Amino acid sequence: MMSMFRKRIGPSRRGVCRPRDRRAFTLIELLVVIAILALLVSILLPSLTRAKELAQVAICMSNLKGISFGHTMYGQDNNDILVPVHYGPSADRLYWFEALEPYMGTTDKLHATSTQMVAKSMTCPTWIGLKNSTTWAGTYADAIGIGMNRRPLLIWDTPTHYINGSDYFIDTLTIPPTSNLYKVHYSDVPYPSQRLINGDAKNDACSPYPGTPTFFMREWEYPPSKPDGTYWGGDPIRHVEASRANYLFFDWHVETLVPARASEAFNVH
């Protein structure tokens, strides 16, 4: 009786599955895809490069703003005396960024030389000395890529004549400066909203060149001297397609300026 209820098993009624026809890409189709990808890259790459440049501008400006806080606290601790560009004899010279560093809360360091380091947050990220640190023959003072105005009281009273053009260096390691030394107070500086205090430079100091008021950094005046076409120590005009530089002013605002506008920040009258 069991066999009467046993289900007969036979071949399936479904048809045999046949694989779909498949064909490979032709050479022309591959070339079209490659051409489209190359076109997209060529369109996007300039935008990505510019975005990277703008990001580096923002980092540099942020670092300059941080330096302004260092100046503020240094002045509060030292009777408003402006930090010298550098101080002490050449063999034991110290620099403005070393005097400000304790106020910056900086722990991130970069090698400036084999034995010296600088705070990363006090540097310009696009400067050649940082990018080519293994081959660039710079010094500790050049390692930061940001300079300080070495003539903070300078005023041009005519297009070819200036007053108060003394360099603000100090020949002793005493900080703050003591008696019988050239001292400048932050509050002494004229036109604080128009005069720069720090900015992109090739070393620890930046200054106008007497007799040529249209230029304010000496390295601008000469043709590029390095094999890669840059100025010695790095061109200070290095942001936004090498057309601008970043500067901190004595009223503590930061700007990105073209050379002509930056020159005005020194040639105040």
State the alpha helices, DSSP H only, in the chain.
27-77, 96-104, 128-131, 259-264
**Residue 128 in this model has a pLDDT that exceeds 90:** no
Q: Does 219 score more than 80 pLDDT?
A: no
55 in a structural domain: yes
User: Residue 7: pLDDT band by 50, 70, 90 thresholds?
Assistant: low
Q: What is the pLDDT of residue 190?
A: 87
Residue-wise pLDDT for 151-194, tens only, equals 888 877 776 677 877 778 776 666 555 544 567 899 999 889 98
Q: Count the neighbouring beta carbons within 10 Å of the beta carbon of residue 28.
A: 8
Q: Is residue 20 part of a domain?
A: no
- Is 130 contained in some domain? yes
Q: Is residue 155 part of a domain?
A: yes
- Asked if residue 14 is part of any domain, the answer here is no
The pLDDT, as a whole number, for residue 59 is 93
From CA 98, how far away is CA 13, in angstroms rounded?
A: 89
Please state the pTM of the whole predicted model: 0.74
Sign of CA dihedral 105, 251, 199, 64: positive
Q: How many domains does the chain have?
A: 1
Whether 179 is in a domain gets the answer: yes
Q: Which range (52-66, 113-127, 160-174) has the least confidence? A: 160-174
**Domain presence at residue 12:** no
Whether residue 4 is contained in a domain is answered as no
**Would you say the C-alpha torsion 224, 228, 230, 233 has a positive or negative sign?**
negative
The CA distance from 175 to 189, in Å, is 20
Look up the domain containing 160 and give its range: 37-264
Question: Which residue has better confidence, 99 or 262?
Answer: 99
Report residue 36's pLDDT band, with 50, 70 and 90 as the boundaries: confident
Highest mean pLDDT among 131-135, 182-186, 197-201: 197-201
Q: CA 188 from chain center: how many Å?
A: 28
Q: Is the pLDDT of residue 215 over 60?
A: no
